[in-house]
Structure 1
Amino acid sequence: MVTKEEILDAALLVLRQDETLTLDSVARHTGLTKPGVVHHFKTKGALTVAVVERLMDLWELDLNSRVHKSADGRARLRAYVEFAFTSEVDPSDLALLSDARLRQRLNELWIDRLAPWFGESITTDPVELASIRAARLLADGAWFDRALGTVDFTESDRAAILAVALNLTERTAQT
């Protein structure tokens, strides 16, 4: 019997292979019938939300492995920056953009699940806060470009940009 987790992993495989995420395409990849998939996910929207949640579960496992569970906002941001530049990334990571009708719901899910990693809890002066936000934006851009496959940096270039982003998380206010 195919589990929900196996169905979600099959859905991620559909996205990795640049196929359209549909109940039919997921059924083909799981060996189930479309009604078999619908038994677990009543609509394509429900499947899409569950796929994004599964993806975020996987991201959080990776992110949590990079910091101690009591890590502060700055350490979590550094973990996110490193994750964005060094983790395995593929088109399935863009699942949260896959259905315009679900954009608000998926955006809320994204914010709810990943906000603790974006440095939003860090309180400091405006200059340092700008550096922290710039590091987050560099990480977001790196993740997005890597998932799209639009930027092909050498490993040394990527490491240098990562160092710049991490340095921004350590910036102290100029007095």
Structure 2
Amino acid sequence: MATKTEILDAALVALRQGEILTLDSVAAHAGLTKPGIVHHFKTKGALTVAVVERLMDLWELDLNARVDDEADARARLRAYVEFAFTSDLDPSDLALLSDARLRDKLNELWIDRLRPWFGEDITADPVELASIRAARLLADGAWFDRALGTVDFSESDRFAILTIALELTEGTTRS
């Protein structure tokens, strides 16, 4: 019998392969029957929420590995920027968009879990805050693009853009 974590990882495999997240697709990847999935996740909605939570767990493992326990908001933002530009991302990383009926719930869950990494707690003058937000938006765009694979940047181009994004987080007011 597969564990919940194994089922959720099977769901991520289905999403990576471009499949729609369904009880049947997850069952096939987990080597279970549909009733075997329903035993753990009573509805597709419950499965979808659990998949997004699993994805966030994996993201947080990676993000936490990039900072120490005493990291401030700026260090966490820098970790998120680096994560977005350097981690292996694929269509499964867009799981929060997988069910339009759950959009509000998944969005709220996503924001609650990842807010500490977005630099929202940084206090600075308006110009510096704009730079910090620009770095966040660059990271969000990199994350979204890399998960979709829509733009094929060279490693040097991606590194150059990452460098610019990290410079925006440094806390020096630009004139």
TM beyond 0.5: yes
Q: TM-score w.r.t. structure 2 length? A: 0.98
Q: 1:31-42, aligned counterparts within 5 Å? A: 31-42=31-42
Residue 158 of structure 2 is matched in structure 1 by 158
Structure 1 CA distance, aligned partners of 2:57 and 2:20?
22
Q: Render the CA deviation track for 1:99-151: whole Å, top value 9, x for unaligned.
A: 00000000001110000000000011000000000000000000000101101
1:87 aligned residue: 87
CA distance in 1, matches of 2:19, 2:58: 21
List, as ranges, runs of 4+ consecutive aligned residues in structure 1 with deviation greater than 3 Å.
Answer: none
* 1:173 CA drift (Å): 2.2
What count of residue pairs does the alignment treat as equivalent?
Answer: 175
5+ residue gaps, structure 1, are none
Residue equivalent to 1:59: 59
Matched residue, 1:14: 14
Identity %: 83
Which whole-Å CA distance do the structure 2 matches of 1:97 and 1:142 have between them? 16
2:102 is aligned with 1:113 = no
Work out the CA distance in 1 between the residues paired with 2:170 and 2:30.
46
Tell me the CA shift for residue 174 of structure 1. Answer: 4.7
What residue ranges of structure 2 are gaps of 5+ in the alignment? none
Q: 2:146 and 2:80 mapped to 1: Cα distance?
A: 14
RMSD: 0.8
Deviation string, structure 1 residues 69-105 (Cα, Å, up to 9, x no partner) = 1100000000000000000000000000000000000
Q: 1:146 maps to what in 2? A: 146
Distance 2:38 2:163 in 1: 46
Deviations along 1:23-47, whole A, 9 cap, x unmatched? 0111111111101100000000000
Tell me by how many angstroms 1:172 deviates.
1.5
